[in-house]
Structure 1
């Protein structure tokens, strides 16, 4: 199975960080010769936005990436002269949003190539946990309304979330720019924000790390949140589940590919 991980912004270091986390996960789950998933990487071109911080940059990144992803491969490379993204078994758009690139690729595929985004995949995973309420921690403040609106479209949720029967309880902004999320100096501030807002105010113990820039931060964030909880109350037995959206995306996409192959046989 050959999957394409698409980072629609132009920051290669974000692509590499997500890829590193995916490779680590796959090597643990499928050790040695049992691994049957290969990952290729795509980073947005230099004139794509360096980070996606709202609706405008989402649309701009789609405009810059779509022509490259739909380029025809030379006949010598692929006998069927397929579009580039259609040469893979599945495509993951690694931007945590209801990113328009997902729908654009699904509309253009000529061989029913599965395409999903890390936003859609991680929300689906959280819904599979019966009785578990969940929320999102994102980067910039601009994302709060956009992600809430995306979740409402996907789940049929409505505000106020606190009184809603829907397990989704809202989005919190870390107020840390995307490219600064991995800076160790910001770890405590992000963890404190999650503890105060996602855990205490929204009363959720399952929190989606709602940005590809969070990939690989699950363990250090969880440890820091635990320290903050113990400082507040030494008897606090807090348990939180931090959901890595990129890992959810890869596993969900792999399942989609397997099911499609099974149906086609």
Structure 2
């Protein structure tokens, strides 16, 4: 049996638990999935400082299980430092272990899914992520300040943090999510929307509603909605099976 560890680097266990049915729905056979929640540290990763802080709380425990798993998914939508750290440590232990983050997986999946003349965009939480994720996309694609080389439509945010997505009134979350999606679509030529937070897992329906309201039934249904957790698990499943 192959084994993949899904790492939720903040310390809110309910956010980890929300990922389980999403992963189970993929119904991949002959792979076991285990889940890790930070034992302490930030309850919600709301900026780069929180991401750096979370490493201190996660890494000592993760180092103990590197040999146990074949793949690792960092379920924080950011340029999270755990991704390169675990890639380095996994390479020392066994170069065939696969590591990715939900940010990296969703960007890669979006670019493969859409037409070359279309763009992808990201809907995320607090406004601070607009600059952080734009910079992260540029760095990931290696476009040297060209903001995605013309393939990136940008980031729109809800003004909610990760825990608010589950704790705030449902109608408020729905309204803010749909408003952010519509602002992104108005930038034009958007073919894919990435859910820019692990806390948005399972929120595809409200994103689709916004696409249909903004673009009409036919065009709204054509937009790809990319959940980073799904994209990450799917990539790791293939990478582990093939030995990439």
| Both proteins in one fold, TM over 0.5 | yes
CA positional deviation for 1:87: 0.9
Question: 2:18 maps to which residue?
Answer: 17
Quote the residue 1:117 is aligned against.
101
* 1:89 and 1:114 in contact (8 A); partners too: yes
| CA distance 1:38–1:157, change in 2 (3 Å) | same
Q: Deviation of residue 223 (structure 1)?
A: 2.3
Shift of 1:48: 1.3
Decide which of 23, 33, 48 is 2:41's aligned counterpart. Answer: 48
Residues 177, 206 of structure 2: 8 Å contact kept: no
Supply the RMSD in Å over aligned alpha carbons. Answer: 2.0
- Give CA deviations for 1:56-97 in whole Å, capped at 9, x if unaligned: 1000001110011112xxxxxxxxxxxx13210100000011
Q: 1:75 is matched with which residue?
A: none
Q: Give me the whole-angstrom Cα distance separating, in 2, the residues matched to 1:88 and 1:19.
A: 17
Structure 1 residues without counterparts, runs of 5 or longer: 72-83
Unaligned runs of 5+ in 2: none
Deviation at 1:15, TM superposition (A): 0.4
- Give 3-state SS (helix, strand or coil) of 2:106's partner: helix
**Could you give the per-residue CA deviations for residues 187-223 of structure 1, whole angstroms, max 9, x where no partner exists?**
122112211x210135413110011011011123312
SS in 2 for 1:238: helix
Distance in structure 1 (CA, Å) of the matches to 2:226 and 2:99: 20
Contact 2:6 2:72 (C-alpha < 8 Å) held by counterparts: yes
Alignment check: 8 A CA contact 1:3 1:91 kept: yes
Q: Which of 205, 226, 229 is 1:243 aligned to?
A: 226
After superposition, the C-alpha distances for 1:165-196 in whole angstroms (9 at most, x for unaligned) are 4311211111112112245221122112211x
Where does residue 37 of structure 1 map in the other structure?
31
Residue number in structure 2 paired with 1:105: 86
TM-score, normalized by length of structure 1?
A: 0.82
Aligned residue for 2:94, secondary structure, equals coil
Higher Rg of the two aligned structures = 1
Matched residues in 1 for 2:217 and 2:66: separation?
52
Equivalent position SS for 1:178: coil
Change in Cα spacing, 1:165 to 1:114, as seen in structure 2 (3 Å) is: closer
For residue 60 of structure 2, what is the aligned residue in structure 1? 67
Equivalent residue, structure 2, for 1:155: 141
Distance 2:68 2:217 in 1: 54
Q: 2:190 — aligned with what?
A: 204
Shift of 1:111: 1.5
- Verify the 8 A CA contact 1:135 1:202 in the aligned structure 2: no
